[in-house]
């Protein structure tokens, strides 16, 4: 029985491998054909899932400070309110692993319910006049806002020849779409203001209601399209004779270097994600307080910058299938780290003049794209240099690193412009040095 037939019997739709796999999906057997891929309908739903998790993160940012102040919250409370979502996602990682071993679609339903309930609690905090509900709502919603389940699905179902392109499309474009749509939606919803009895729908609570409605629509798509079978790697025996183990390092030194390369790529992803969160919150505060922009225009700026990787990441993803080494995953990671280091200089505080504002916006545009590209291609490379038996563990650890998003929001709130720019530069320099040192070993297996 080939894999396509097995998936249809289990309720999945649209899976179409490039070559038939002579395995049974109920076995622990797993073969990593380089040209394997999935249908466009599944990729589209995966894209929407990632976009929705990113939207959940950013739709509250433009109004988080005002919402916290309306409930008499302490200064800088918005950093903890926004960042709580990252803690929820990281803590749920063991639950995700168990759910993924049962059903990919079931895991996505769990995520959507968490985001929906959390968003409703966030919106109702105003009626209850409780700042605790803001934190609880973000924590509960954050339990469903992890991208780990989708990444695990791609790592298992998409071959190495297509993986960089697929990740850059559904994650690079999806994240950018969600990050951009969140602030822009918040700006538009700032004009929606009405009461239903004691329930007030305004710019502070609109993000919660919007996410809850979008989760309902995504649930319909998951039921209709997404495969219901579980992971073929998580919780399965690893000693099967037909698993391709020939690429695994054989000596202790090789093994340590191999694990060091994976660890570096995971750290790359974690730090870049933290920097993304830091910039989003810091830029919102800087343009509102230093450059005196309105909520609407600050949201448009952050949203517009956040959307630009939607074009950059897929374009680079397509180039990874070409021959020049500069366009391979490790080449892109290397040159992106170098560009990121250089452009961090534009984010320092040069005053409140128009020229300083332009420099800050251009710097944010370039640095944000570098952060996003580093996440995408470090992720793709991590799955490619991992052996088959390491893929699920690598993806699980990457899922845990989302906790650093919370640290990013705190850094973006508490650090001054100069301190944050210096932090970006230091992190970028460390990434560049490590990439240079490990460059020869960052090759797909």
* 352: phi then psi, degrees, rounded to nearest 5: -110, 20
According to the model, what pLDDT value does residue 24 have? Answer: 40
CB atoms within 10 A of CB 191: 10
Residue 199, SS3 per DSSP: strand
The residues pairing with 194 across neighbouring beta strands, listed in sequence order, are 201
Structural contact between residues 101 and 122, judged by C-beta atoms closer than 8 angstroms:
no
Cβ distance 166 to 155 under 8 Å? Answer: no
How many residues are present in the chain? 445
**pTM for this entry:** 0.73
pLDDT at 37: 77
Q: What's the confidence (pLDDT) of residue 443?
A: 78
**Residues 152 and 383: beta-carbon distance below 8 Å:** no
The pair of structure tokens assigned to 102 is 């049962």
Determine the Cα–Cα distance for residues 345 and 339; give it in Å rounded to an integer. Answer: 11
Q: What is the DSSP string of 383-414?
A: HHHS-GGGHHHHHHHHHHGGGHHHHHHHHHHH
The pLDDT of residue 324:
56
| Alpha helices (runs of H) in 143-251, residue ranges in sequence order | 148-157, 160-167, 174-189, 206-225
CB-CB contact of 140 with 121 (8 Å): yes
pLDDT at 78: 78
Residue 249 has what pLDDT? 59
pLDDT of res. 339: 94
Tell me the DSSP string of 18-32.
Answer: SS---S-TTSS----
Report the pLDDT value the prediction gives residue 27, as an integer from 0 to 100.
Answer: 41
Give first-to-last CA distance, the chain, whole Å: 28
Contact between residue 229 and residue 103 where contact means Cβ atoms under 8 Å apart: yes
Cβ neighbours for 239, distance < 8 A, ≥ 6 positions apart: none
Please give the pLDDT value at position 327.
Answer: 67
The whole-angstrom separation of Cα 231 and Cα 100 is 6
Nearest 10 degrees: Cα torsion 310, 311, 317, 320: -150
Instruction: Identify the pLDDT of residue 323.
Output: 60
Strand partners, 195: 200
pLDDT of residue 207: 80
Q: How far is residue 120's CA from residue 154's CA, in Å, rounded to a whole number? A: 30
Q: Which pLDDT does position 140 carry in this prediction?
A: 92
Token output for 330: 């490790």
Full pLDDT tens readout for the chain, 445 residues: 444 434 433 344 443 333 333 334 334 444 446 677 778 899 899 989 999 998 898 888 777 778 888 888 887 787 888 888 888 877 888 888 899 999 999 999 999 999 999 988 988 888 878 888 888 998 999 899 888 899 889 888 888 777 877 887 787 777 778 887 887 777 776 666 555 555 666 666 778 888 889 999 999 999 998 988 888 888 665 544 333 344 555 688 888 888 899 999 999 999 998 999 899 889 988 988 888 888 778 878 888 888 888 888 777 877 766 665 556 788 889 999 999 999 999 999 998 888 999 999 999 999 999 998 998 889 888 888 888 778 888 888 888 887 888 888 889 888 999 999 999 999 999 999 999 999 888 877 6
């Amino acid at each position: 029985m080939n894999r396509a037939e097995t998936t249809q019997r289990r309720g999945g739709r649209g899976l179409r491998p490039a070559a038939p796999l002579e395995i049974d999906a109920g076995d622990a057997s797993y073969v990593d054909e380089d040209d394997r891929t999935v249908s466009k309908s599944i990729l589209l739903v995966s894209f929407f899932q990632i976009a929705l998790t990113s939207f959940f993160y950013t739709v509250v940012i433009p109004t988080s400070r005002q919402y916290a102040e309306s409930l008499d919250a302490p200064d800088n409370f918005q950093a903890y309110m926004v960042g709580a979502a990252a803690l929820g996602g990281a803590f749920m990682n063991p639950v995700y692993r168990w759910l993924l071993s049962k059903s990919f679609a079931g895991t996505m339903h769990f995520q959507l319910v968490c985001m929906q309930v959390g968003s409703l609690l966030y919106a109702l905090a105003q009626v209850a006049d409780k700042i605790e509900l803001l934190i609880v709502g973000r924590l509960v919603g954050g339990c469903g806002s992890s991208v780990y389940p989708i990444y695990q699905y791609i790592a298992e179902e998409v071959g190495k020849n297509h993986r960089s392109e697929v990740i850059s499309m559904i994650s690079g474009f999806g994240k950018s779409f969600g990050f951009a749509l969140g602030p822009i939606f918040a700006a538009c919803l700032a004009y929606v203001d009405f009461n239903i009895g004691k329930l007030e729908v305004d710019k502070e609570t609109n993000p919660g209601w919007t996410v809850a409605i979008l989760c309902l629509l995504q649930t319909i798509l998951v039921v209709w399209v997404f495969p219901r079978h579980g992971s073929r790697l998580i919780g399965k025996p690893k000693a099967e004779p037909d698993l391709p183990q020939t690429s695994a390092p054989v000596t202790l030194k090789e093994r340590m270097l191999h694990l060091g390369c994976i660890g570096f790529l995971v750290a790359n992803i974690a730090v870049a994600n933290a920097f993304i969160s830091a910039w989003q919150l810091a830029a919102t505060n800087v343009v509102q307080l230093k450059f005196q922009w309105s909520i609407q225009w600050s949201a448009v700026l952050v949203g517009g910058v956040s959307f630009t990787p939607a074009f950059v990441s897929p374009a680079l993803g397509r180039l990874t299938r070409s021959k020049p080494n500069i366009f391979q995953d490790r080449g892109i990671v290397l040159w992106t780290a170098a560009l990121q280091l250089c452009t961090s200089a534009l984010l320092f505080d040069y005053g409140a003049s128009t020229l300083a504002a332009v420099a800050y916006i251009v710097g944010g545009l370039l640095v944000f794209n570098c952060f996003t590209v580093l996440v995408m291609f470090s992720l793709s490379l991590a799955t490619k240099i991992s052996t088959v038996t390491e893929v699920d563990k690598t993806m699980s650890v990457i899922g845990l690193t989302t906790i650093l998003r919370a640290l990013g929001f705190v850094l973006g709130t508490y650090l001054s412009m100069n301190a944050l720019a210096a932090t970006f530069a230091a992190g970028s320099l460390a990434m560049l040095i490590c990439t240079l040192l490990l460059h020869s070993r960052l090759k797909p297996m």
